[in-house]
Protein backbone atom coordinates (compact mmCIF):
# COMPACT_ATOMS: atom_id res chain seq x y z
CA UNK A 1 0.00 0.00 0.00
CA UNK A 2 1.07 3.52 -0.66
CA UNK A 3 2.00 5.59 2.36
CA UNK A 4 3.04 9.21 2.68
CA UNK A 5 4.99 10.45 5.67
CA UNK A 6 5.50 14.02 6.82
CA UNK A 7 7.80 13.97 9.82
CA UNK A 8 7.52 17.66 10.69
CA UNK A 9 4.19 18.42 12.41
CA UNK A 10 5.14 22.10 12.70
CA UNK A 11 7.64 24.44 11.10
CA UNK A 12 8.24 28.15 11.35
CA UNK A 13 10.06 30.62 9.13
CA UNK A 14 10.87 34.29 9.24
CA UNK A 15 9.19 36.41 6.62
CA UNK A 16 11.34 36.64 3.46
CA UNK A 17 13.40 33.61 4.46
CA UNK A 18 13.41 30.12 2.95
CA UNK A 19 11.92 26.98 4.46
CA UNK A 20 11.88 23.35 3.39
CA UNK A 21 9.10 20.91 4.24
CA UNK A 22 9.91 17.21 4.11
CA UNK A 23 7.92 14.33 2.69
CA UNK A 24 8.73 10.70 2.06
CA UNK A 25 6.55 8.09 0.42
CA UNK A 26 6.47 4.40 -0.15
CA UNK A 27 5.27 2.74 -3.33
CA UNK A 28 6.10 -0.16 -5.59
CA UNK A 29 4.74 1.64 -8.64
CA UNK A 30 6.95 3.25 -11.26
CA UNK A 31 4.36 5.66 -12.65
CA UNK A 32 2.92 8.08 -10.15
CA UNK A 33 2.41 11.72 -9.29
CA UNK A 34 3.30 13.73 -6.23
CA UNK A 35 1.63 16.90 -5.02
CA UNK A 36 1.84 19.54 -2.37
CA UNK A 37 -1.46 21.00 -1.24
CA UNK A 38 -1.89 24.07 0.95
CA UNK A 39 -4.75 24.36 3.41
CA UNK A 40 -5.11 27.86 4.87
CA UNK A 41 -7.44 28.64 7.79
CA UNK A 42 -10.33 28.79 5.32
CA UNK A 43 -9.84 24.99 4.97
CA UNK A 44 -9.82 25.18 1.17
CA UNK A 45 -7.41 22.68 -0.38
CA UNK A 46 -5.19 24.50 -2.86
CA UNK A 47 -2.75 22.76 -5.18
CA UNK A 48 0.69 24.31 -4.81
CA UNK A 49 2.85 22.17 -7.06
CA UNK A 50 2.94 18.76 -8.72
CA UNK A 51 5.67 16.40 -9.93
CA UNK A 52 5.44 13.54 -12.37
CA UNK A 53 7.60 10.61 -11.34
CA UNK A 54 8.89 10.07 -14.87
CA UNK A 55 10.35 13.57 -14.97
CA UNK A 56 13.83 14.00 -13.54
CA UNK A 57 13.59 17.77 -13.54
CA UNK A 58 12.27 19.24 -10.31
CA UNK A 59 9.03 21.20 -10.60
CA UNK A 60 8.98 24.92 -9.90
CA UNK A 61 6.09 27.33 -9.48
CA UNK A 62 7.22 30.87 -8.72
CA UNK A 63 8.51 30.83 -5.11
CA UNK A 64 7.74 27.14 -4.67
CA UNK A 65 10.03 24.36 -5.81
CA UNK A 66 10.49 20.71 -5.02
CA UNK A 67 13.45 18.44 -4.52
CA UNK A 68 12.34 15.09 -5.94
CA UNK A 69 14.64 12.20 -5.13
CA UNK A 70 13.02 9.16 -6.73
CA UNK A 71 15.47 6.55 -5.48
CA UNK A 72 15.17 7.83 -1.94
CA UNK A 73 11.39 8.29 -2.33
CA UNK A 74 11.68 11.80 -1.04
CA UNK A 75 9.70 14.84 -2.14
CA UNK A 76 10.44 18.04 -0.25
CA UNK A 77 8.91 21.47 -0.80
CA UNK A 78 11.01 24.62 -0.68
CA UNK A 79 9.30 27.96 -0.16
CA UNK A 80 11.51 30.94 -0.95
CA UNK A 81 10.93 34.53 0.15
CA UNK A 82 8.24 33.38 2.57
CA UNK A 83 5.21 35.61 2.89
CA UNK A 84 2.62 35.94 5.62
CA UNK A 85 0.07 34.43 3.26
CA UNK A 86 2.10 31.22 3.12
CA UNK A 87 1.06 30.38 6.67
CA UNK A 88 -1.06 27.24 6.39
CA UNK A 89 -1.13 23.47 6.68
CA UNK A 90 0.80 21.81 3.91
CA UNK A 91 -0.04 18.30 2.79
CA UNK A 92 2.10 16.07 0.67
CA UNK A 93 0.05 13.70 -1.50
CA UNK A 94 0.65 10.73 -3.78
CA UNK A 95 -1.41 9.50 -6.71
CA UNK A 96 -0.95 6.33 -8.73
CA UNK A 97 -0.30 7.03 -12.40
CA UNK A 98 -2.79 4.53 -13.70
CA UNK A 99 -6.04 6.08 -14.84
CA UNK A 100 -8.94 4.87 -12.78
CA UNK A 101 -6.79 4.39 -9.71
CA UNK A 102 -5.70 7.91 -9.02
CA UNK A 103 -7.18 8.81 -5.69
CA UNK A 104 -4.86 10.79 -3.44
CA UNK A 105 -3.00 9.45 -0.44
CA UNK A 106 -2.13 12.23 1.98
CA UNK A 107 0.50 12.73 4.62
CA UNK A 108 -0.45 14.02 8.05
CA UNK A 109 0.51 17.58 7.21
CA UNK A 110 2.96 20.23 8.37
CA UNK A 111 1.70 23.42 9.95
CA UNK A 112 3.78 26.34 8.71
CA UNK A 113 3.96 29.54 10.72
CA UNK A 114 5.42 32.67 9.14
CA UNK A 115 6.93 35.09 11.62
CA UNK A 116 6.78 38.79 10.65
CA UNK B 1 -12.46 29.35 -6.73
CA UNK B 2 -11.84 25.80 -7.92
CA UNK B 3 -15.16 25.52 -9.75
CA UNK B 4 -16.28 22.65 -7.52
CA UNK B 5 -19.27 23.42 -5.33
CA UNK B 6 -20.42 21.66 -2.21
CA UNK B 7 -23.58 22.11 -0.18
CA UNK B 8 -24.27 22.64 2.58
CA UNK B 9 -21.24 24.40 4.05
CA UNK B 10 -22.13 23.40 7.58
CA UNK B 11 -24.35 20.67 8.94
CA UNK B 12 -25.19 20.01 12.57
CA UNK B 13 -27.15 16.92 13.44
CA UNK B 14 -27.64 14.32 16.14
CA UNK B 15 -26.36 10.80 16.55
CA UNK B 16 -28.39 8.20 14.71
CA UNK B 17 -29.52 10.62 12.02
CA UNK B 18 -28.93 10.52 8.26
CA UNK B 19 -27.55 13.34 6.12
CA UNK B 20 -26.78 13.92 2.46
CA UNK B 21 -23.86 15.98 1.20
CA UNK B 22 -23.93 17.29 -2.33
CA UNK B 23 -21.13 18.02 -4.77
CA UNK B 24 -21.12 19.56 -8.25
CA UNK B 25 -17.88 19.00 -10.16
CA UNK B 26 -16.17 21.46 -12.47
CA UNK B 27 -17.75 21.76 -15.87
CA UNK B 28 -16.46 18.91 -18.03
CA UNK B 29 -15.01 16.84 -15.20
CA UNK B 30 -16.30 13.28 -15.16
CA UNK B 31 -14.58 12.06 -12.00
CA UNK B 32 -15.70 12.85 -8.48
CA UNK B 33 -13.78 11.87 -5.36
CA UNK B 34 -14.90 12.11 -1.74
CA UNK B 35 -12.46 12.62 1.11
CA UNK B 36 -12.92 12.87 4.86
CA UNK B 37 -10.72 15.08 7.02
CA UNK B 38 -10.93 14.38 10.72
CA UNK B 39 -8.64 15.26 13.60
CA UNK B 40 -7.67 11.68 14.40
CA UNK B 41 -7.65 10.14 10.90
CA UNK B 42 -6.31 13.00 8.82
CA UNK B 43 -7.33 13.21 5.15
CA UNK B 44 -8.70 9.94 3.89
CA UNK B 45 -10.06 8.87 0.53
CA UNK B 46 -13.59 7.52 0.70
CA UNK B 47 -14.83 6.78 -2.80
CA UNK B 48 -14.37 7.63 -6.49
CA UNK B 49 -17.02 7.84 -9.19
CA UNK B 50 -16.45 8.25 -12.89
CA UNK B 51 -19.32 9.15 -15.19
CA UNK B 52 -21.88 7.59 -12.92
CA UNK B 53 -19.97 4.43 -12.07
CA UNK B 54 -18.14 3.59 -8.89
CA UNK B 55 -14.43 3.17 -9.64
CA UNK B 56 -12.65 2.82 -6.32
CA UNK B 57 -13.40 2.58 -2.64
CA UNK B 58 -11.19 3.63 0.19
CA UNK B 59 -11.86 3.68 3.90
CA UNK B 60 -15.58 4.15 3.55
CA UNK B 61 -17.83 2.77 6.26
CA UNK B 62 -20.78 0.57 5.35
CA UNK B 63 -23.04 3.25 6.86
CA UNK B 64 -21.85 5.60 4.12
CA UNK B 65 -22.83 5.44 0.48
CA UNK B 66 -22.49 7.64 -2.55
CA UNK B 67 -23.74 7.98 -6.07
CA UNK B 68 -23.13 10.10 -9.14
CA UNK B 69 -26.07 11.22 -11.18
CA UNK B 70 -26.44 11.64 -14.98
CA UNK B 71 -25.76 15.38 -14.65
CA UNK B 72 -22.49 14.34 -12.91
CA UNK B 73 -23.26 15.81 -9.52
CA UNK B 74 -22.60 13.46 -6.65
CA UNK B 75 -24.13 12.85 -3.27
CA UNK B 76 -22.58 11.28 -0.19
CA UNK B 77 -25.08 9.74 2.19
CA UNK B 78 -24.11 9.22 5.80
CA UNK B 79 -26.48 7.23 8.00
CA UNK B 80 -26.70 6.10 11.64
CA UNK B 81 -24.37 8.94 12.44
CA UNK B 82 -21.93 8.66 15.31
CA UNK B 83 -19.93 11.29 17.15
CA UNK B 84 -16.80 10.11 15.36
CA UNK B 85 -18.30 10.98 11.98
CA UNK B 86 -17.84 14.66 12.76
CA UNK B 87 -15.38 15.87 10.14
CA UNK B 88 -14.82 18.02 7.11
CA UNK B 89 -15.95 16.23 3.95
CA UNK B 90 -14.35 17.25 0.69
CA UNK B 91 -15.37 16.55 -2.82
CA UNK B 92 -12.82 16.82 -5.63
CA UNK B 93 -13.18 16.49 -9.37
CA UNK B 94 -10.83 15.76 -12.23
CA UNK B 95 -10.78 15.03 -15.93
CA UNK B 96 -10.48 11.33 -16.62
CA UNK B 97 -7.28 10.65 -18.41
CA UNK B 98 -5.97 14.03 -17.46
CA UNK B 99 -2.23 13.76 -17.70
CA UNK B 100 -1.48 15.15 -14.30
CA UNK B 101 -4.21 13.44 -12.29
CA UNK B 102 -4.85 16.85 -10.84
CA UNK B 103 -7.85 17.06 -8.56
CA UNK B 104 -9.72 20.25 -7.80
CA UNK B 105 -11.25 20.47 -4.36
CA UNK B 106 -14.50 22.00 -3.29
CA UNK B 107 -14.73 24.13 -0.14
CA UNK B 108 -15.92 21.18 1.96
CA UNK B 109 -18.92 20.46 4.17
CA UNK B 110 -18.31 20.59 7.89
CA UNK B 111 -20.40 17.97 9.64
CA UNK B 112 -20.92 18.14 13.38
CA UNK B 113 -22.65 15.24 15.08
CA UNK B 114 -23.91 16.01 18.58
B40 touches chain A (CB under 8 A): no
Inter-chain contact B108–A43, Cβ cutoff 8 Å? yes
pLDDT of res. A56: 87
Cβ contacts from A onto B, under 8 A: 57
Nearest to B56 among A43, A103, A109 (CB): A103
Closest to B72 (Cα-Cα) out of B94, B104, B97: B94
Closest to B74 (Cα-Cα) out of B17, B113, B30: B30
Nearest to A44 among B96, B100, B105 (CB): B105
* B112: pLDDT strictly greater than 90: yes
Q: Above pLDDT 70, what percent of chain A?
A: 96
Beta bridge partners of B56: B48
**Section B41-60 average pLDDT:** 91
* B59: pLDDT strictly greater than 80: yes
* B97: pLDDT strictly greater than 80: no
Which chain A residues in 50-89 lie under 8 Å from chain B, judged by CB atoms? 50, 52
Measure the CA–CA gap between A106 and B28, rounded to whole angstroms: 25
Measure the CA–CA gap between A64 and A18, rounded to whole angstroms: 10
B89 touches chain A (CB under 8 A): no
Amino acid sequence: AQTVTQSQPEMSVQEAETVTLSCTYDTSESDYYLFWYKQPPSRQMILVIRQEAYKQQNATENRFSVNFQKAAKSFSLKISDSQLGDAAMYFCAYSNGQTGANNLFFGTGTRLTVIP
Amino acid sequence: DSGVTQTPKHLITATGQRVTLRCSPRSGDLSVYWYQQSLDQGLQFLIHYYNGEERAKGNILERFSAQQFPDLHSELNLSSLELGDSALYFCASSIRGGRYNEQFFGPGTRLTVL
